[in-house]
Amino acid sequence: MHSAFAARGAGAPLPIWFVTADSYAQVRDGLDPVARAFAVSAQFEPKPGQALLLPGKDGALSGVLFGLEPTDKAPDRFLPGRLPGLLPAGTYGFANAPHDTRLAALAFALGGYKFTRYRKAGDNAAKLVVPDGVDAAELTRIAEGVALARDLINTPANDMGPAELEEAARALGGRHGAVVRSIVGDDLIAQNFPLIHAVGRASPRAPRLVELTWGDPAAPKITLVGKGVCFDTGGLDLKPSSGMLIMKKDMGGAACVLAAAHMIMDAKLKVRLRVLIPAVENSVSGAAFRPLDVYRSRKGLTVEIGNTDAEGRLVLADALALADEEAPELIVDMATLTGAARVALGLDLPPFYTHADALAEDLMRHARAEHDPLWRMPLWRPYDSMLDSKVADLNNVSSGAFAGSITAALFLNRFVEKAKAWAHVDVYGWTPSAKPARPEGGECQAARVLYALLKERYGS
The sign one gets for the Cα dihedral 377, 311, 302, 275 is negative
Local structure of 91: helix, strand or coil: strand
How deeply is 162 buried, as exposed, middle or buried, from its count of CB atoms within 10 A (0-12, 13-18, 19+)? buried
Alpha-helical (H) ranges within 273-388 are 312-324, 339-345, 357-370
Number of Cβ within 10 Å of residue 18's Cβ equals: 23
CA atoms within 13 A on the CB side of 84: 27
Strand pairing category for 441-442 and 430-431: antiparallel
d(CA 344, CA 336): 14
Long-range contacts of 289-292 (CB under 8 A, 24+ apart): 289/198, 289/199, 289/201, 289/202, 289/235, 289/236, 290/236, 291/236, 291/237
Which sequence positions are flagged as catalytic?
Answer: 239, 313
Rounded to 5 degrees, what are φ and ψ at 422?
A: -145, 145
Distance of CA 70 to the CA centre of its chain: 28
State which amino acid sits at residue 459. Answer: G
Cite the beta strand spans of 56-134 per DSSP E: 61-67, 90-94, 126-129
Alpha-helical (H) ranges within 20-135 are 24-29, 33-41, 101-111
d(CA 193, CA 197): 6
* b/e map 318-341, b = 16+ CB within 10 Å: bbbbbbbeeebbbbbbbbbbbebb
Length in residues, the chain = 460
d(CA 101, CA 97): 6
